[in-house]
């Protein structure tokens, strides 16, 4: 019998922003938090690099400050029925404990595949 295989999700705490999320294989499936932040944090998602590599990232609030996620030029972010404007943003609305896992679906859209708490657009 073989041991189960688990994907590691490397953790990256960001205490200051804005922070550009790099689109490379080493960063896909990374967990970004606002641990240690003294204020609200802005993360900017990457644009499509290759149709063979569609990354996903998880963003989690671990303190009372909000996380805002910005779509790159030409793209939107969809969290359920909430859709950002092109190159627009979505923001955690529930404070501590909100989380979203976003997957790049195409050259024009990032979509939530898991959500905890409320997220809003401006």
Task: Give the mean pLDDT of the chain.
Answer: 84
In a domain, 90, yes or no: yes
In a domain, 4, yes or no: no
Instruction: Return the SS3 of 13.
Output: strand
Nearest to 27, CA basis, from 1, 62, 54, 60: 54
Structural domain containing residue 47: 11-111
Partners of 103 in the β-ladder: 56, 111
In a domain, 120, yes or no: no
What is the tens place of the pLDDT at every residue in 11-59? 677 777 677 776 554 567 788 999 988 899 999 999 887 776 788 899 9
In a domain, 1, yes or no: no
Tell me what the mean pLDDT of segment 54-75 comes to: 93
In a domain, 86, yes or no: yes
Pairing of strands 56-60, 89-92: unpaired
Q: Are 98 and 116 in contact (CB under 8 A)?
A: yes
Q: Domain containing 42 — which CATH number?
A: 2.60.120
Question: How remote is the C-alpha of 54 from its chain's centroid?
Answer: 13
pTM over 0.75: yes
């Amino acid at each position: 019998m073989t041991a189960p295989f688990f994907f590691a999700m490397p953790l990256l705490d960001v205490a200051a922003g804005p922070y550009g999320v790099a689109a490379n294989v080493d960063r896909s499936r990374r967990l970004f938090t606002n641990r240690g932040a003294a204020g609200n944090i802005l993360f900017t998602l990457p644009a499509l690099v290759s149709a063979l590599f569609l990354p996903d990232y998880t963003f989690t609030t671990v303190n009372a400050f909000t996380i805002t996620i910005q779509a790159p030029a030409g793209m939107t972010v969809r969290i359920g029925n909430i859709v950002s404007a092109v190159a627009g943003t979505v923001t955690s609305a529930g404070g501590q404990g909100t989380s979203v896992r976003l997957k790049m679906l195409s050259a024009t859209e990032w979509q939530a595949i898991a959500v905890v708490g409320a997220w809003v657009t401006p």
